[in-house]
Amino acid sequence: MNLFRRFKQGNLPLGRIEAFSDGIFSVAATLLVLDLKEISLPENPTAANLWHALVLQLPKFLSWLISFIIVAKFWLNHHHVLRLAKNADYGMVWLNSIFLMFQSLVPFPTALMGEHPNNPLAVGLFGVVMAFNTLLFMLLYSYILRNLLDPEMAGAEDPHVISKSFIGPLSYLVGAGVAWINPDFSFVVYLITPLFFITPVHRKQNCSPSNH
């Protein structure tokens, strides 16, 4: 098909793709702070009033922390994956842009979860969005591995990296499901999930000889 072939064209250098991506990662991560500033206080709050309001905000702080860690984790893995590519084609640019679109969405489910920490839909939606983000990232990852892999980097990659990555969306969806039983558990699941990919996944296997 013609459209399919068009996406295989391009041969773009990676510099501006990284710049656009880093812009969206950093703006999305920094916009998260805007939620924290929406704090309801009486007219001339005493220290006790403010302390009380800050304690009530704890779920917002936790949502902020979880989301920042997740965005930072995606950024690190994105950094890793783009280094595997020797260049970009239009297909990769669009898989990347669609991934970034949902990365820029992160402040929305974060705000919902932080403001309504006992609402199972608000808390569950966060997990669904993060699962979807992870799937989009895996799509970008596998596209690069199959189409754009720099031969020099090929040896370092675990061939099973994509199938192993399914643990990520699965775990987020478990967190989303648990929200209907006890949303507090979801927060724990969401906090633990990014730790699976706290460093790019393939390195552990690849470097296993030197790790023993």
Residues 174-203 that bind its own copies (CB under 8 A): 198-200, 203
The DSSP code for 198 is S
Does residue number 101 form part of the binding site for its own copies (CB under 8 A)? yes
What are the angstrom distances between the C-alpha of 42 and each of 35, 59, 124?
18, 20, 32
Does residue number 20 form part of the binding site for its own copies (CB under 8 A)? yes
Are the beta carbons of 133 and 106 closer than 8 angstroms? yes
Are the beta carbons of 116 and 183 closer than 8 angstroms? no
Residue count of the chain, please give it: 212
Does residue number 47 form part of the binding site for its own copies (CB under 8 A)? yes
To the nearest whole angstrom, how small is the minimum distance from the Cβ of residue 193 to its own copies? 16
Does residue number 100 form part of the binding site for its own copies (CB under 8 A)? yes
Are the beta carbons of 84 and 157 closer than 8 angstroms? yes
Binders of its own copies among residues 74 to 93 (CB under 8 A) are 75-76, 79-80, 83, 90, 93
Does residue number 158 form part of the binding site for its own copies (CB under 8 A)? no
To the nearest whole angstrom, how small is the minimum distance from the Cβ of residue 91 to its own copies? 9
Does residue number 42 form part of the binding site for its own copies (CB under 8 A)? no
